[in-house]
Amino acid sequence: MSVEFNHTIVLTPDREKSARFVAEILGLEPGPPAGMFLPVTTANGVTLDFATVDIDIPVQHYAFLVSEEEFDAILARLVAARVPVQADPHGRYPRRLNRKDGGRGVYFRDPAGHGLEVLTRPYGTDPGSPLNGVTEGIPGAV
C-alpha cells in the first residue's frame, strides 16, 4: 500500500460552528459525530476531524485543491457570506485572488482563526506562467 494522508484533527472552540462553516464554504456536509469529533470528509477521502477544546489554539493552515468550477462556487459562497478573502496568506492583497501557476487561489479564515486556502493548480506546476505574481480583484469581496 502506498502512503496516503487519511485525517487530521482540527482544534476549535466550537466544533459545530467550525465544521459547518468549512463544509458549507467547500460545498460538503459534516458527517455524524464520532466521539469528540465532528468529521468533514473531502472528495479524496481525507477527513478533517473537528474537536472542541478549551485551550489556546495555534493557528493552522489547510489548503484545498479544487476544480475551476468548484472554485467559482466556493468564491461565490465566500462573497455571499461576507467572509474576508485575500490573495496571499499575509493579507497584503485583500479582496483579491492570486493566479499562481496559471490557476486561481484565495485565502480566508475559519471561525477558529485557522487559515484556509482554495487553489485550482498545485503550486510549482507552472513556474514559468506569466500569471505568477498577478492578482485579480474579486467583485463584492470584503
For the chain, the maximum distance between any two Cα atoms, rounded to a whole number of angstroms, is 48
Spatial contact of 120 and 66, defined as CB atoms under 8 Å apart? yes
- Cα 23 versus chain centre, distance: 10
- Cα 82 versus chain centre, distance: 15
pTM more than 0.85: yes
pLDDT (tens, 9 = 90+) of the chain, 142 residues, equals: 799 999 999 999 999 999 999 999 999 999 999 999 999 999 999 999 999 999 999 999 999 999 999 999 999 999 999 999 999 999 999 999 999 999 999 999 999 999 999 999 999 999 999 999 999 999 999 9
Classified as helix, coil or strand, 65 is: strand
- Residue 112 has which C-alpha cell? 477558529
Q: How far apart, in whole angstroms, are the C-alpha atoms of residue 107 and residue 133?
A: 15
